[in-house]
Structure 1
Amino acid sequence: MKDMDLRQLKYFMAIVEEGQISRAARRLHMAQPPLSLQLKTLEEELGVQLIERTNKRLRLTEAGHALYQRAEQIVGLVDNTTKEIREFDQGLRGTLGIGSPPGIGHLTMPSRIAAFHAAYPEVSFQWREGNTYRVLELLDAHVIEIGIVRLPVDENAYEIKPLVTEPWVAVTRTAQGQARPPSISLAELARQPLLLMHRQQGIQCHDMVSDALRAAGVEPTVFCESDNVTALLTLVELGMGAAIVPRSAAALKPSEALHIMEITDCRLESSVAITWLKGQRLSAAARKFLEMF
């Protein structure tokens, strides 16, 4: 078996991310048959099936999922190394990988990206979105250099620069003409089904909300948990319950039917920070971008 090369890994990643070989071929600016052959060759060389073919979409096997995770790390590391070497004689240019959760990223990133582009027009961006756990995964895989996360995170593994502390709020559905009070207690809130952020490994925001409900002696009915805030807000809009989310996340879905309230009898807050891998040599673009925070 010959060794895999970087081109094969990039082809494989494109197929996985696009979900169809035809779309991956268009993204890679190549014909579909040679790309299909590359995938088949890679599977034969490794001696495992990486992707199960169906009529509509492709599905990763367990081996394929493992290879994709490693490919993210390898391609990210090679790209970062290439950027570092080029910087020695080409100045500030290249692509900067960043990541953020929805809501917080929309508030903190666009103005800084615009200002950075004005100062360094030869730098482009790859902006990935996901919850804190996903952002940390992308940092660990060297797919991005800088991420915005909700604290706490492991301070032995990541450098942290605090940005802001924000309250968590209640979001309810309010029909036109109904009263819209500025605040609500946990007991009042728990009279309807609750929609909560899903617990992520190592991320304590879910526990913070659960602890506050327990301390208030409230036994709520939890209708749905999700790490997709927009989905939770859509469920609120459909009358399926009330959500408890960070204030910045509550603004992700502007709607006349949604009413945002402070929670009166507890202090639910989460801190947001910009972070990067401890001990990693950041690119010149990443270092300059960090200065904007």
Structure 2
Amino acid sequence: MEFRVLRYFLHVAREGSITKAADFLHVTQPTLSRQLKDLELELGKKLFIRSSHSITLTEEGMLLRKRAEEIVHMIDKLESEFIAMEETISGDVYIGSGETDAMRKIAQVVKDLQVRYPNIRYHLYSGNEDDVSERLDRGLLDFGILIEPADLSKYNYINIPAKDVWGVIMRNDSTLADKNTIQASDLQNLPLICSRQAIKQTYSKNVFADWFGEDFDKLNVVTTYNLAYNAAIMVDEGIGYAITLDKIVNTSCDSNLCFRPLEPRLESGLNIVWKKHQVFSAAAEVFLKEVQAKFSHPISGM
């Protein structure tokens, strides 16, 4: 299977039209059609459902699209790393993280590096712990930011000098908005909107099960989420109360929403992690050294 043909396939999948893809790629339509048919023959699977005006992907086509995008991404990343070796330090750094205000710490590192290394580009990927870990393990990310508790046994890591505070997002007209803090008893029988990460068994313990106590299994979870922005919309529409981190949803004075921390206070530490024995690009190596200098912690897990 040729890499060039994978690129052709992706362009056709994105355009939904062989004609448009051929124009973009500067190849003739018959040439592109023949390449796609040869690809289907090589794989022994039908990749497209063709109609008079457009084409759509079959199940096998959707799987190939996902894998082809990963392959193209890895090849592009590899090429940029080799180019960076020949120039003044440049290249790409790939960082994955969940929603957390601790990204400000990373942003400060990036801002300081921009002055000395303006040719380094940074790519941020948002996802939960499972998403970030999977992409790290497959080499699609250089670094990940994981909220504690997390399984760090596979990684080297540095503790980020920041803490995330857990609490409840609610409408300003909610009766709980009059409280300064929220206790477990306040949440009994209320419709709750929880992150999937928060309510699953995380590594060796579940911090929320510990915090809620013996009534954890009785909570009325009506919605789960992986992006707090979407959870905030649900709260604003009156669906329920969202359990989330502080400072990642707009709860300023001009918002319909407010945040109240949990009591007893529940905080989570954070770590920036990378694969053990990772071979970094020059750009990623520079970023790591700056993180070490800024956060002033020894490297763990090595």
TM-score, length-normalised on structure 1? 0.78
| Structure-to-structure mapping, 1:70-109, within 5 angstroms | 70-104=67-101, 106-109=103-106
| Matching residue's letter, 1:240 | I
8 Å CA contact 1:149–1:275 kept in 2: the answer is yes
Instruction: Give the counterpart letter for 1:273 in structure 2.
Output: N
Q: Is the 8 A contact 1:92 1:120 kept in 2?
A: yes
Q: Which residues in structure 2 correspond to 1:41-56 (within 5 Å)?
A: 41-50=38-47
Distance 2:84 2:44 in 1: 39
Aligned residue for 2:134, secondary structure, equals: helix
| Rounded Cα–Cα distance in structure 2 between residues aligned with 1:46 and 1:26 | 22
Structure 1's 154 and 185: CA in aligned 2 closer, same or farther, altered over 3 A?
closer
Instruction: State the partner residue of 1:169.
Output: 167
1:254 and 1:32 map into 2 onto residues whose CA distance is 58
Does residue 10 (structure 1) correspond to residue 7 (structure 2)? The answer is yes
Computed over aligned residues only, the root mean square deviation of the Cα atoms, in angstroms, reads 3.9
2: distance between equivalents of 1:60 and 1:209? 41
Q: Report if aligned partners of 2:94, 2:124 keep a CA contact under 8 Å in 1.
A: yes
Aligned 8 A contact 1:146 1:275 in 2: yes
Match of 1:184 among 182, 185, 209: 182
Q: Which residue of 2 aligns with 1:120?
A: 117
Equivalent residue of 1:91, what SS?
coil
Q: How many residues align?
A: 287
Q: How does 1:190-209 map to 2 (within 5 A)?
A: 190-199=188-197, 203=202, 207-209=206-208
The alignment status of 1:281 with 2:258, answered yes or no, reads: no
Identify the residue that residue 262 of structure 1 maps to in structure 2: 261
- Residue 227 of structure 2 aligns with an amino acid whose one-letter code is N
Whether contact under 8 Å (1:73, 1:142) holds in the other structure is no
Note if contact 1:9-1:71 (Cα within 8 Å) is conserved in structure 2: yes
Q: Secondary structure at the match of 2:255?
A: coil
Unaligned runs of 5+ in 2: 292-302
Higher Cα Rg: structure 1 or 2?
2
Q: 1:189 to 1:139 in 2, by over 3 A?
A: same
Higher mean C-alpha displacement, 148-157 vs 138-147: 148-157
What percent identity do the matched residue pairs reach?
25
Distance 1:79 1:225, change over 3 A: same
Rounded to whole Å, the distance in 2 between the matches of 1:197 and 1:27 is 44
Alignment TM-score, normalising by the size of structure 2: 0.76
Structure 2 counterpart SS, 1:90: coil
Q: 1:252 to 1:114 in 2, by over 3 A?
A: farther
CA distance in 2 between counterparts of 1:26 and 1:48 reads 22
